[in-house]
């Protein structure tokens, strides 16, 4: 009887996933995203196109694809985005071609987007999407974090708090909800979610051939 070549499940090909993290401003998604990218080389940040000006230290094509308003509108017309939205006077969108090709090759993409973008992605690529929402431990703690930055005026903070409440109202549109009371515990939970989603049978496309080989007489 022919014995199948030994290999672990990690060696089997799988389809990539779109790992979305959303949260109100100040709830920690940027910090958790950075920690995840540093700890896990198998996931990369999805690079969005944006019309906002480039900030000091940013690199075109790495942080964002910086485009003009006219170019962004053209991309929308040509349906080149998986999702796009207007945020605080600027436009942001996820280019379609690069992500779809990467998913087929088994790449995982991290998305730092709001609930509107999440909804658009889920409607288009439901089975590839994993939705995680981070909540602050309390609204008072969220206000303290925003105030503690020392970069925004009281008026801006009030606007962000109002927007935060609106974003929190969409918590039930996500697959997982994690309360960020402790940054390290929150990060550990997010990593557990990512690892479990990678092992889902539907994503393990290499299992079909592997199991057939195991069953061969």
Tell me the pLDDT tens digit for each residue of 130-154: 999 999 999 999 999 888 877 778 8
pLDDT for res 10 = 55
| Superfamily of structural domain 9-46+107-215 | P-loop containing nucleotide triphosphate hydrolases (3.40.50.300)
Other CB atoms within 10 Å distance of the CB of residue 102 = 16
Question: In which residue are the tokens 């900030």 written?
Answer: 55
Lowest mean pLDDT among 8-12, 29-33, 134-138, 162-166: 8-12
**Given CA atoms 122, 125, 126, 129 in this order, what sign does their dihedral have?**
negative
* pTM of the entire predicted model: 0.83
How many angstroms from the chain centroid is the CA of residue 145? 22
Average pLDDT, the chain: 90
Let me know if 171 is exposed, middle or buried by CB neighbors in 10 A (0-12, 13-18, 19+).
Answer: middle
């Amino acid at each position: 009887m022919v014995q199948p070549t030994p290999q672990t499940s990690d060696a089997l090909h799988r389809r990539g996933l779109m790992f979305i993290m959303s949260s109100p401003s100040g709830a920690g998604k940027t910090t958790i995203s950075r920690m995840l990218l540093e700890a896990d080389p198998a996931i990369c940040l999805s690079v969005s196109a944006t019309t906002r000006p480039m900030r000091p230290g940013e690199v075109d094509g790495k942080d964002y694809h910086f485009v003009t308003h006219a170019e962004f509108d053209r991309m929308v017309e040509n349906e080149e985005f998986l999702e796009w939205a207007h945020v605080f006077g600027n436009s942001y969108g996820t280019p379609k071609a690069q992500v779809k090709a990467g998913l087929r090759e088994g790449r995982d993409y991290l998305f730092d987007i709001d609930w509107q973008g999440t909804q658009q992605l889920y409607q288009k690529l439901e089975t590839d999407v994993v939705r995680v929402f981070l909540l602050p431990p309390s609204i008072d703690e969220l206000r303290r974090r925003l105030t503690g930055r020392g970069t925004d005026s009281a008026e801006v903070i009030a606007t962000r708090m109002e927007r935060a409440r609106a974003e929190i109202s969409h918590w039930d549109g996500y697959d997982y909800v994690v309360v960020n009371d402790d940054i390290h515990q929150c990060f550990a939970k997010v990593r557990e979610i990512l690892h479990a989603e990678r092992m889902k049978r539907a994503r393990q496309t290499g299992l079909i051939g592997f199991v057939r080989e195991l069953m061969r007489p």
